[in-house]
A and B are shown apart, each in its own frame.
Chain A
Amino acid sequence: MRSTTKNPLLKVVILGDGGVGKSCLMNRFVSNQFDEHSFHTIGVEFLNKDLDIEGQTYTLQIWDTAGQERFKTLRTPFYRGSDICMLTYAIDDKMSFKNLEMWRKEFAYYADLKESNQIPFIVVGNKSDVSSEAREVSQLEMETWCNENSITSCIETSAKSASNVEEAFKMAVQHWLRLESRADINETHVNDTVDLSKKIGDSNRMSCCVGGGAAGDDDTNN
């Protein structure tokens, strides 16, 4: 672990149904490893990883939880104090996408958020490596859902092929920076954030979504 105490520490919680690849995303990002057959998570685990954004190093403390509904009461105490929440689903699992709503609510309720409109969510559609036949959630559906829920950042990733994984975490931090800059313009890192916001604002759209594999070609699959 290279982290130094000087870096800002951001707590990132990965949420989503069982088997969508939460632990795999974390392990790919932190140690660039992937094991399709790694154990499902019991309880909670976390790993630290440094991430450089625009010259500033952030230490990400990434929390990985057990996805089954049953473990809710033992999972939710860990939400408090989170800076970012990654709502994760698998693009070949419609149900996991439908359950994002449940996860969003659960997090918002237990995270003790100060302001409900400043919710640090980012949506991650994992397993973008699957064939287009296996895809059950199109990128358009993801973007629509995000817009409906005022979530401005979403991305498709593949922990297996390492596609967009680091980008997802970067996007999460950038998203956090935007929120921070809005929440308190006197923050020290405001200079970084203003630039970033402009960059994104230039495209004149609310969402900032990045696709992974073949996108939107399977809309009929409901």
Chain B
Amino acid sequence: MEDEFDDYQDVFSQDGVLLRQAPSAYIQYINTIGTLYIWETLENEACHSKKRLLEWKPNDVTVDSDVQDQEWAVVNTVQKRVRTLSGNLPPDYYARLKNLKINFEDIKSFRIANKSRQLTFFDGTSDSICSLLFQHGNCEVLVSILRSFLKFGPSRRDKHLFVIYDADSPEYQELNKTFAALDFKNENSLWTLFKNIKEHPYEGSLEAFSKVTNYVYRSVDANEAEFLQQDDLNRSLSEIDDSSTVHSGGDYELVQKLPQLPKRKDFPRCRPLTEEQWREQFNYEGRLEDVESIKTLIFRGGVTPSIRKEVWKFLLDYHPWNSTSAERQKCNSTKSEEYYLMKLQWKSFTKTQEDNFSDFAQRKSLIDKDVNRTDRNLDFYAGDNNFNLTTLNDILMTYVMYNFDLGYVQGMSDLLSPLLMLLEHESDTFWCFVGFMNKLISNFDIDQAGMKEQLANLYTLLAFIDPFLANYLETHECANMFFCFRWLLVWFKRELKQDDVMRFWEVLWTGYPCQNFHLLVGVAILEQERGALMENNYGFTEILKHINELNGKLDMSLMLNKAEGIFYQLKESDHLTDNIRFILGLPLLSQQTSANHSISPDSSANHSQPRCSVDHVRISPESDEAVYDRSITTNFL
């Protein structure tokens, strides 16, 4: 830490600060507790004024990557524009960001809420830079420290909003008591400003105010009403960004005019892939001819149980889709050899070795405990001294040897159990499990970054499909979506009966119709439950309880039907943001636009025109005047 701030000294720090909102690049740290610092430059003759910055650093330093601790990024306007092009970012972009740093110059205003427990910084373009929740005490100490570095005062419109005065603003000068000494001749603009204030006190001061804060205060007149109706604005209301409409809780109301999604279509599930359909796709070498149509059939209806054993090996990347039967046979024997070699490694540990290898011993002990409480209600795993439990145990132990960095994490036994039950073959099951784990490995990240990202993505999707429900969750402290954790960690394994689990997983394994389709299933379930949640006015605990108690009650075919309907609604929607496109793996607007120059567009979803959008509009209920808080961004950058 000190290395990063050679020229800086720490003037203030406060721990127990939870990151409530932040630019999307920091999404994995949302709801993480950290420490807030103020740094300032050391005395330096070359520099007249001291530079100061705020830094928020997450507490959890268990991430063992050196890179993460070394690199951090400055949050500024440029950074945020870049974010919309996230498709072009290097793969480790998010991982490299860690500490959130805000230069004092970038803070234009801040808002105190929740009995001084919440502090939100704004950059003056209506975007919040970040929002912090003070778990220990409140932000009053921090604000008093800020007062010694910055000049600010409460906004006229919102007594909880504090506006930082620029050095050349009248308020700043007033505070410095140097007003009389001002050389007005050299400050033409300032002079005009004061003249205006004198002649038209109301409008003049508003103008001054707007110059300081970039906030525009206007009454709702005919022009505004017209403005509200503009299509771009409507679009923007659904822009679910790190600081967009549905996040505005508390004193603000959502403007309830939302863009229409295309009508939802019905996608009833079809007949499962039959043995006949499957067999006829193999050529004389035993190679599958038309993989895509097979996958489509599986996505639409799953697989007939009699051929599951065979098909799953393809779906889980154990057998390559383009392999011949001879190649598969060879694969089986070499992979089997490899498996038993790894199994032998841990089997041959001596007692002393184990005692001296606590990491290993701990994993072994937890696997032993969890195997004994995985699907024991099913006949296949029931009873004492059941051999299948031993196999379950051995596969998990061998996986520890296969991927020691990951080892064993709770939830993995749930993923393995249906595979073993179906395949009933140790090494085949192991390799299929490896394939499954490769698809879900980020669920088991040591810092749970993958799960946090998924929960955040689930919220983003929900906010686009059902902003009212999303807003409800936000105002009931549920926007973190923790209550969906179990769904996502083990792909609804705990919510469904074993037969449904098998059907559901094989559908998801196809990767159709888009990536993260399981999140759309989550959205479909939440949408189905919205009445129960909102009409009963459930709070955080009731929502958690309600969702936990859905297990065994979900109609998986219906949910898949709805999720597919949602997917096409999104895909065909003309206001789909890059944010959502990125989650679903759809082409980004920015990429499409650049592609337009060389390739002719093949779909109406292409936007060749740069689009302006207003990020959000807030109306203060405290007055009859509307407060517009706008930022114009284009997706064409």
Q: Which residues of A contact B (CB under 8 A)?
A: 18-19, 36-40, 42-46, 61, 66-68, 70-74, 76-77, 80, 93, 95, 110, 112
Contacts and interface: CB of A to CB of B under 8 A. Distances in A.
A74 B366 contact: no
B365 A61 contact: no
Interface string B447-463: 11001100000000000
A43 B485 contact: yes
A70 B365 contact: no
A97 B545 CA distance: 30
Given A37-B377, A44-B544, A73-B452, A112 B136 contact: yes
Closest 9 CB pairs of A and B: A37-B376, A19-B369, A43-B485, A43-B486, A42-B486, A68-B410, A73-B448, A40-B373, A40-B370
Given A66-B410, A70-B409, A95-B362, 9 more contacts: A18-B369, A40-B369, A40-B410, A40-B413, A43-B483, A61-B541, A70-B410, A74-B482, A93-B365
A18 B408 CA distance: 12
Contact of A46 (B16, B135, B373, B541): B541
A74 B16 CA distance: 16
B485 A37 contact: no
Contact of A68 (B33, B409, B447, B541): B409
Contacts of A61: 541
A216 to B, nearest CB: 25
Given A37-B377, A46-B544, A77 B482 contact: yes
B103 interface: no
B448 A71 contact: yes
A80 B370 contact: no
Contact of B373 (A39, A67, A80): A39
B447 A73 contact: yes
B366 A80 contact: no
Interface in B475-489: 480, 482-483, 485-486, 489
Nearest to A61: B541
B619 interface: no
B548 interface: yes
Contacts of B9: none
A93 B368 CA distance: 13
Contacts, number: 84
B490 interface: yes
Contacts of B414: 42
A76 to B, nearest CB: 8
A40 B372 CA distance: 9
B411 interface: yes
B385 to A, nearest CB: 13
B441 to A, nearest CB: 13
Q: How extensive is the interface on chain B, given as a class? A: 35 or more
Give the most central of A18, A70, A110: most B CB within 10 Å.
Answer: A70
A37 B32 CA distance: 34
B366 A39 contact: no
Contacts of A74: 448, 451-452, 482, 485
Contact of B374 (A18, A39, A93): A39
A18 B135 contact: no
B370 A43 contact: no
A46 B544 CA distance: 9
A39 B494 contact: yes
Given A46-B541, A46-B545, A37 B409 contact: no
B152 interface: no
A71 B544 CA distance: 17
Contacts of A112: 16, 135-136
Nearest to A42: B486
A92 to B, nearest CB: 11
Interface string B26-61: 000001110000000000000000000000000010
B374 A42 contact: no
Interface string B365-391: 110011011101100000000000000
Contacts of A72: 60, 448
Contacts of B490: 42
Interface in B426-481: 444, 446-448, 451-452, 480
A93 B361 CA distance: 13
Contact of A110 (B33, B373, B410, B480): B33
Contacts of A80: 135
Contacts of A77: 31, 480, 482
Contacts of A46: 541, 544-545
Given A18-B410, A42-B411, A68 B366 contact: yes
Contacts of B544: 44, 46
A53 B502 CA distance: 48
19 contacts: A18-B369, A18-B370, A36-B372, A38-B376, A39-B373, A40-B369, A40-B373, A40-B374, A40-B410, A42-B410, A42-B414, A42-B486, A42-B489, A43-B482, A46-B541, A46-B544, A66-B410, A72-B60, A73-B452
A37 B444 contact: no
Contacts of B413: 40
Contact of A43 (B366, B480, B489): B489
Contacts of A39: 373-374, 494
A185 to B, nearest CB: 25
A37 B448 contact: no
B61 to A, nearest CB: 12
A43 B482 CA distance: 8
Nearest to B446: A70
B538 to A, nearest CB: 14
A18 to B, nearest CB: 5
Nearest to B413: A40
B544 to A, nearest CB: 7
Contact of B366 (A19, A36, A37): A19
A66 B369 CA distance: 13
Contacts of A43: 482-483, 485-486, 489, 548
Nearest to B549: A45
Contacts of A19: 365-366, 369-370
A74 B135 CA distance: 16
A18 B447 contact: no
Contact of B372 (A37, A66, A67): A37
Contacts of A95: 362, 365
Nearest to A38: B373
B373 A37 contact: yes
A15 to B, nearest CB: 15
Contacts of A42: 410-411, 414, 485-486, 489-490, 494
Give the most central of A19, A37, A43, A72: most B CB within 10 Å.
Answer: A43
B482 A73 contact: no
